[in-house]
Homo-oligomer: A and B are copies of this chain.
């Protein structure tokens, strides 16, 4: 990683902080550099990205998408959700997608489940990991999953036990952790309490999701740091939508506060069929640009992501909201500099 170190030194980045401190800001820290802090990007485009799109991709196109993501270095992907195909037609071929996935020793596939029925379907497939969703607010829980927050917490622990019995990895996402489209503000104490209860059952990780894109970085820093400390050593993943232009700031605040994995989708594809006006996930390419230029390591190839995003825009038949794919990275691929 000498090239990275040289580049970071040239930018004057405080390598002592970014390289060694898991929490905190960029102006303080110890002095010994070791290696760039790794941030894991979980590509959720094939699931969250696609599920609210009117253009239905064939199973083959989904496999093409997933293959391009893996070619760009992605090691962990949400590839399907086991939900009612009448409600989410895009996910009707979940089993077929999983059966057709390219097999790589170091690539990990996630299937999303909202209830026990979905979990039983998922466990019939070879998907590596079940992503269980529970919800912090009653209003969204009722509309998205037909149960209130307390009932969904019980469901999540039951499904975790089921996975453990079957020897399958399970993690849990807490939806509407930063606000609910129906109930408004969500009490952060209830989110922390929910995370603590979930943590007792030893999920692989717990994710905090800003399902509708209302979070702001001060709120994110406060909640992520509380949850990270409460459930340690279980890691925290975060999931943001860029509805109000705060998505990347929220990613930044989350990482500064202890999150280690970030959900993102190529091109910023995505929404939520049950959250009116929620727009896409944070775009993978923009998150990678932000993090790599800030001295973090994602292990991803930005050029390959951009090529895949351009392909994806053609498939979807629309411009995608991600921005780095439109202007290129800086400085390496920047045609401005040749003028």
Contacts and interface: CB of A to CB of B under 8 A. Distances in A.
A222 B24 contact: no
B221 A25 contact: yes
A189 interface: yes
A130 to B, nearest CB: 29
Q: How large is the interface on A (under 10, 10 to 19, 20 to 34, 35 or more residues)?
A: 35 or more
A181 interface: yes
A131 interface: no
A179 B327 contact: no
Given A246-B290, A253-B26, A324-B244, A222 B182 contact: no
A257 interface: yes
A290 B181 contact: no
A213 B336 CA distance: 12
Given A253-B252, A323-B243, A182 B293 contact: no
Interface centre among A188, A189, A219, A296 (most CB of B within 10 A): A219
Contacts of A334: 181, 184, 214
A242 interface: yes
A181 B338 CA distance: 9
A248 B251 contact: no
Interface stretch (A10-18, A96-104, A155-163, A165-173): A10-18
B14 A221 contact: yes
Interface in A243-302: 243-249, 251-253, 256-257, 275-277, 279, 283, 286, 289-291, 293-296
Nearest to A251: B249
A242 to B, nearest CB: 7
B185 A221 contact: no
Contacts of A296: 218
A322 interface: yes
A339 B225 CA distance: 32
B216 A294 contact: yes
Contact of A221 (B26, B243, B248): B26
Nearest to A292: B216
A276 B339 CA distance: 9
Contacts of A27: 23-24, 221, 225, 256-257
Nearest to A186: B11
Given A14-B221, A249-B248, A290 B216 contact: yes
A336 B13 contact: no
A231 to B, nearest CB: 15
A223 interface: yes
Interface string A205-236: 00000001111111101110110000000000
Given A11-B185, A23-B25, A219-B293, 13 more contacts: A10-B185, A12-B219, A13-B218, A179-B330, A183-B337, A218-B295, A245-B247, A245-B289, A246-B289, A248-B249, A249-B251, A249-B252, A249-B290
Interface of A: 10-14, 18, 23-28, 179, 181-185, 187-189, 212-219, 221-223, 225-226, 242-249, 251-253, 256-257, 275-277, 279, 283, 286, 289-291, 293-296, 322-324, 327, 329-331, 334, 336-337, 339
